[in-house]
Structure formats: C-alpha cells, structure tokens
Amino acid sequence: MPVFATETKTGNLEKSDFSLTLSGGTATLADFTVAHTAGTNQVIFGLVIDGIADGNEVITVAPASATSIYSEKGAAMEITVAKTANLNDIGIIGKWQSSGVNVAPLLIYAGIDSIYAYFRADNSYLVESFTPDGSKTTLSGTFTQQRTSVPGIWDITVNQSTPTSLVSVGIFQVIAGNPLTMKYEIAQTEPVIVGVTPPTASAGFGSTSAGAYGVMNVQTYVKVR
C-alpha cells in the first residue's frame, strides 16, 4: 500500500513518524534511520545496535502518532497498527578495519599494514588491503557463516572470485565492547596449499595447520559501521 507523510498524499516518511522498540535478547537499540520515498510501499530502517544480537531480539515498528502515516486515500494509519520481526544475529555482517598491531603477523610479513573489510547482508564481501606506500589490493566474492557449538565462535567459508578464484575456510568471534571487535582466522583450502589446514572452532584461535603458526594468522578487526 502506498504511504505518505500527509493527508494530501505528499511527503516522505521520516524518523519522527515511527516508533521503534527492541525487546528480548542481549542487544539494545541505540538509534535508527529511515529511508522512504513518498507514494512507495517500502520503508528501509537502519538500526544502530549496542551489544551483540543473539537472535532472540524482537523489533516492533509502529506509527509515532495518529497523524504520522497516511494511505493513498488520505486516511491516517491507526497508532495501534504495529509490525514485529525477529532481529537475526548478524555475525560478521558490517564494515571492519584492521591496522597496526591488529594486522595478523603473517600479513605484516607480506607487506600489508591495513585492511578494510565489508561483509554485506546479501553474503557478498569486499576486502581492501594496503601496503605502507599506499598500494591497494581488492578482493571480492561471497561468503557463508554459521554458528558453531563453541560459544561465540562462528565458522566462515569465503569464496573469492576476484582477482583470482579460491576458497578459504576459518573462524571468527565478535567481541562486545565500544566499539565491537572481532578475532578472525582463515586459511586457503582451494587450491590446496601443502601443509596448510584451516582453523577450527573446537581447537580455537591459533589452530591453523594444527597450531603450527600459533597466533601468526589471527587477525583483529574493529567494527566501523
């Protein structure tokens, strides 16, 4: 149903037109944004979450007042109308940055001094790594993630498509704080590298190649968005 900000069927809906609440779970709602074009039936909410969602959170969206949202007939939406949805645990989704001592020692030895990683909700990713002289390498592809039986640790499989095709498997853990941080360890599995095996949740961080590299392959990221 097309919606508007006024009874004259004009105006984009804005943040002030909505009431959003988050209940249950471990995360809390710090703020939100609204994107809408007058006359369309889609509103996009951007949620700013404090803490790490555990998947039990329920988001409730309702009109802020009895004069906030109007239909194509100029009728106001009743304030009692509300929609709810579960807030899924997003895992690695978001924008992350790593630099200085946070960069895995193996990557530092390879000449990398900073990395920016964007894991999108559509399961695509973009990673940009930089050398001290500013040279950039861009990697992109798709990924899958899944919780493991080890509390807090997820499995991740990365299917890189550019600049070359390869598959890497690893683990990560998002750590609560302000800002959020993440431990990340991954190893290439296709094409096979002799002597290299991926880390596992059960063995923990530092388990690439059965622990042969120690923490040399463990990356620390800071969430920037």
> What is the tens place of the pLDDT at every residue in 79-136?
999 999 888 778 999 999 999 999 999 999 999 999 999 999 899 999 999 999 999 9
The range of the structural domain enclosing residue 117 comes to 94-223
User: Of 87, 112, 143, which residue constitutes the final position of a domain?
Assistant: 87
- Over residues 158-189, the pLDDT tens digits come to 999 999 999 999 999 999 888 899 999 999 99
CA atoms of 76 and 96, how far apart (whole Å): 42
Task: Supply the CATH number for residue 114's domain.
Answer: 2.40.128
Same domain, 106 and 58: no
Buried b (16+ CB within 10 A) or exposed e, 110-127: eebbbbbbbbeeeeebeb
| pTM, to two decimals | 0.77
CA atoms of 168 and 24, how far apart (whole Å): 35
According to the model, what pLDDT value does residue 52 have? 83
CA atoms of 152 and 212, how far apart (whole Å): 24
According to the model, what pLDDT value does residue 24 have? 92
User: Of 37, 53, 87, which residue constitutes the final position of a domain?
Assistant: 87
- Over residues 182-210, the pLDDT tens digits come to 999 999 999 999 999 999 999 999 999 99
Same domain, 70 and 118: no
According to the model, what pLDDT value does residue 178 have? 83
User: Of 87, 118, 135, which residue constitutes the final position of a domain?
Assistant: 87
Q: Give SS3 for 143.
A: strand
Same domain, 28 and 72: yes
Q: Which residue has the tokens 């990221």?
A: 221
- Over residues 25-61, the pLDDT tens digits come to 888 999 999 999 999 999 999 888 888 888 889 999 9
Do 141 and 159 form a contact (C-beta atoms < 8 A)?
A: yes
